[in-house]
Amino acid sequence: MVYESYPWKQDLLRRKRLIIKYNTAERFDKSYDSTYTVIEKGIFYSAFIIRKLIDCGGKLSDEADNYSIQVKAIKPLKHIDNLNRWPEEDSHDWEHEKQLTVAGKDICNWLIHSYLFFSEFEENGPMLAFCVSSDYDRNKILYKISMCDWLRYIDYIASDDIVGLSSHYDEKTGDYIYTRKERGTR
């Protein structure tokens, strides 16, 4: 349980700023490995923070809990295992990407439970998107998420405030159930 969401949301914004600061052609040219690591950590840490805030129940509005993102879905053509877990020309059906709308929380789950994770770059430039598949989905689907969409999601969560809350006590669970968490913004 997170006591106060504000410091976590501030850390989300810090992760976003680091991703933006490091996601440049100049940074990658100067030191590819360290630049990639900063961005990779920013993506994974932001996914954990968002998932934690959602799982706490009363820290984000219903709109933030249900935020959705457009992604591309790509089917694997080869069996994905420890020896075949990096993208190759013939590893996935790259020519037939399908557009899907998925919950932001699902992307967080895929990142937290990722089996595959790699990035797509602009030619001689910054990271445009990242691809992820969970340990559960690795032989079913690979998801491509635009970096711009991920950064918008971080902003949405970080700026979310609950300005109204409705709940009731549920005898069956012995706990309060939130029935409405109204969104406001900072």
Task: Summarize pLDDT for 164-183 with one digit per residue, the tens.
Answer: 888 889 999 998 888 888 88
Burial of 87 from C-beta contacts in 10 A (0-12 / 13-18 / 19+): middle
pLDDT at 153: 98
Place of tokens 């991920």: 150
Q: Going by DSSP bridges, is the β-strand pair 114-121/98-103 parallel, antiparallel, or unpaired?
A: unpaired
Per DSSP, the three-state class of 180 is strand
Q: Please state, in angstroms and rounded to a whole number, the distance separating the CA atoms of residues 121 and 80.
A: 22
Would you place residue 186 in the very low, low, confident or very high pLDDT band (cuts 50, 70, 90)?
low
Higher-pLDDT residue of 175 and 50 is 50
77-111 per-position pLDDT tens digit: 999 888 887 888 888 999 999 999 999 999 999 99
Closest to 63 measured CA to CA, from 114, 6, 104: 104
Percent of the chain with pLDDT over 70: 99
Quote the pLDDT of residue 182.
Answer: 87
1 Cβ contact partners less than 8 Å away, ≥ 6 residues apart: 56
**Whole-angstrom distance, CA of residue 114 vs CA of residue 15:** 19
Mean pLDDT on 53-58? 91
Average pLDDT score over residue span 3-31: 95
Distance between CA atoms of residues 55 and 49, nearest Å: 10
Task: Determine the Cα–Cα distance for residues 73 and 101; give it in Å rounded to an integer.
Answer: 10
Q: How far apart are CA 47 and CA 110, in angstroms?
A: 9
Q: Worst-scoring range by mean pLDDT, 23-27, 85-89, 119-123? A: 85-89
The predicted structure's pLDDT at residue 125: 80
Which pTM does this prediction carry?
Answer: 0.92
The average pLDDT across 123-131 equals: 91
What are the residues whose beta carbons fall under 8 Å from the beta carbon of 128, sequence distance 6 or more? 120, 121, 122, 146, 147
Whether the pLDDT of residue 185 is over 80: the answer is: no
Each as own residue / partner, the long-range contacts of residues 23-26 (CB below 8 Å, 24 or more positions apart, any chain) are 23/126, 23/127, 23/147, 24/126, 25/122, 25/124, 25/125, 25/126
> How confident is the model over 4-19, as a mean pLDDT?
96
pLDDT recorded at residue 48 = 98
**What's the mean pLDDT in 58-82?**
94
Phi, psi of 70 (to 5 degrees): -80, 130
Question: What pLDDT shows up at residue 177?
Answer: 84
Mean pLDDT of the chain: 93
